[in-house]
Amino acid sequence: MKKLILGNQPEADEPTVTKMTMLRGQFALVAITVGVIYATIVMVQGEFNFIPWHVLLIGGSALSFYLNRSGKHLASSLLIVVLSNAFVYLFSSVNRPQDGMFFFFFLTNTLTIVLLGHRYKWLTILLILVTVALAIFAYLFPTMIAPVPKNISPQIERTIFLINLVISLLFGSYVLVILLRANYQTERKLLKQHEALTKINKELDRFVYSASHDMRAPLSSLLGLIAVTEKTTSPQEIVTCLKMMRERIGVMEGFLKEITDYSRNVRTEVDKKPLNVNDAIQASLSSLKFLYEREKIAVTINTTADLMIQTDEPRFNVVLNNLISNAIKYYDTQKADPFIKISASIHKNQFILSVEDNGMGIAPEHQVRIFEMFYRATTRGEGSGLGLYIVRETVEKLGGVIDVKSTPAVGSTFTVRLPVH
């Protein structure tokens, strides 16, 4: 049904717009169906004078359907409202209120409000007043513009009344359901936006405080080292100070990169494309090779060369790089054979990535908090506490989840689960 009504139109970003497009198309199809049903009834009764009117109704409804399918929504809406008013007036003004045609005036007004609504406020009010006026005139001043049926039996009369009543009730109820559902979705959207803004405001407060603290420490250290360098005359001491300055700058650079990753994840939309997982792992390891080779950490990969998924490559790389670099950073210096095992597979239409190490491990009381912003489970290293928070936020943005299993002094396994498509 959706393909029939929308045609090649892309679905609108706002769900209500798509629903209104569907409603216009459905009403046009209902009007065509009603025209065919009534044309059949009057032909069976031998009332051929009605046929041109029903053909006009079918043709006008088909034109409205075509305009709606072509994206000309206002023209389609106006044609629907004008056709509805015209035909309901014509067929209700033949001094036969027992046919139940007056039910359709209510349906016409409801459609006018739904299809035009707040976007065309004054036009909507005008058309509502026109419909009310037509209903009054049709009842008080029958015009007999349309042919008056002559050979309608009481049984057919009751059938026509019942058809009009059922169509009005069903379609009127459907229109109201559309309105209620649209309101519900709008409320849900506003609630989610409010929750997101509340979360962002809280994180921003913490971010400003912690970021200023984390930036101040290396800057103060740099200022101290510069002061020492200015006063000393020892070449060896100058070299040592420069080396320490480079390390401080490296810490600041890493922190700024994490801020950039966080900002990019929050502000940019997910852009999923085909990704070779093995190639992504190899690229990540290549960029970190000097770290794990320096510490003599054995790295093994357990995946296939042709494993493909649909995901956002920059975000996937952020997750991968953070998990691998953490495994390197917190390896256990007391163990003779430190290792990192990276596994990737697809199971039940779900992509599973795990990074396992035999490093320091994480105490149980820290495991529930390591994905919080600026939380650090150890004083070892000079991390900002943003890495795993960024990983969790990025994984959730990709529609997945992450969990950790860890035992102190034994090792940790981080597992990421993402949709394949």
pLDDT of residue 176: 81
Tell which phi-psi region holds residue 411, choosing left (phi > 0), alpha (psi between -120 and 50) or beta: left
CA distance 78 to 75: 5
Q: Among the three residues 121, 152, 183, which one is the final residue of a domain in this structure? A: 152
Neighbours of 388 (CB within 10 A): 23
More confident position, 269 or 144: 269
Q: Are residues 148 and 279 in the same domain?
A: no
Quote the mean pLDDT of the chain: 82
Q: In the predicted model, what is the mean pLDDT of residues 178-196?
A: 82
The per-residue pLDDT for range 201-218, each reduced to its tens digit, is 776 676 666 566 556 667
Q: Which residues are paired to 355 by β-bridges?
A: 342, 414
Note whether residue 196 is domain-resident.
no
pLDDT of residue 16: 66
Q: Are 313 and 273 in contact (CB under 8 A)?
A: yes
CA distance 142 to 354: 78
For residue 198, pLDDT beyond 90? no
Based on DSSP, count helices (H) and strands (E) in the chain, helices before strands.
13, 7
Nearest to 114 by CA among 22, 207, 176, 41: 176
- Domain containing 48: what range? 2-152
Note whether residue 136 is domain-resident.
yes
CA distance 201 to 135: 55
More confident position, 244 or 94: 244
Q: Among the three residues 126, 152, 178, which one is the final residue of a domain in this structure? A: 152
For residue 261, pLDDT beyond 70? yes
Q: Are residues 147 and 9 in the same domain?
A: yes
Q: Are residues 11 and 142 in the same domain?
A: yes
Which of 91-100, 231-240, 315-324, 372-381 is most confident? 315-324
Note whether residue 252 is domain-resident.
no
The amino acid at residue 206 is R
Could you list the beta-strand ranges (E) of 266-331: 273-276, 298-302, 308-311
Counting residues of the chain whose pLDDT is more than 70, the rounded percentage is: 86
Note whether residue 175 is domain-resident.
no
Nearest to 416 by CA among 361, 353, 365, 337: 353
CA distance 212 to 331: 29
pLDDT of residue 352: 95
Nearest to 196 by CA among 186, 184, 188: 188
Q: Among the three residues 118, 152, 186, which one is the final residue of a domain in this structure? A: 152
More confident position, 100 or 11: 100
Q: In the predicted model, what is the mean pLDDT of residues 47-60?
A: 80
For residue 244, pLDDT beyond 90? no
CA distance 230 to 143: 104
pLDDT of residue 106: 86
Q: Are 381 and 330 in contact (CB under 8 A)?
A: yes
More confident position, 415 or 189: 415
For residue 420, pLDDT beyond 90? no
pLDDT of residue 160: 77
Number of folded domains that form the chain: 2
Note whether residue 165 is domain-resident.
no
More confident position, 187 or 8: 187
With cut-offs at 50, 70 and 90, classify the pLDDT of residue 110.
confident
Note whether residue 233 is domain-resident.
no
For residue 129, pLDDT beyond 70? yes
CA distance 264 to 267: 5
Q: Which residues are paired to 403 by β-bridges?
A: 415
Note whether residue 223 is domain-resident.
no
Q: Are residues 275 and 417 in the same domain?
A: yes
Note whether residue 161 is domain-resident.
no
Tell which phi-psi region holds residue 141, choosing left (phi > 0), alpha (psi between -120 and 50) or beta: beta
CATH of the domain at 335: 3.30.565.10
More confident position, 150 or 414: 414
Give the least confident one: 222-236, 246-260, 273-287: 246-260
Q: In the predicted model, what is the mean pLDDT of residues 153-159?
A: 75
Residues in Cβ contact with 4 at an 8 Å cutoff, skipping those fewer than 6 apart: 25
For residue 33, pLDDT beyond 90? no
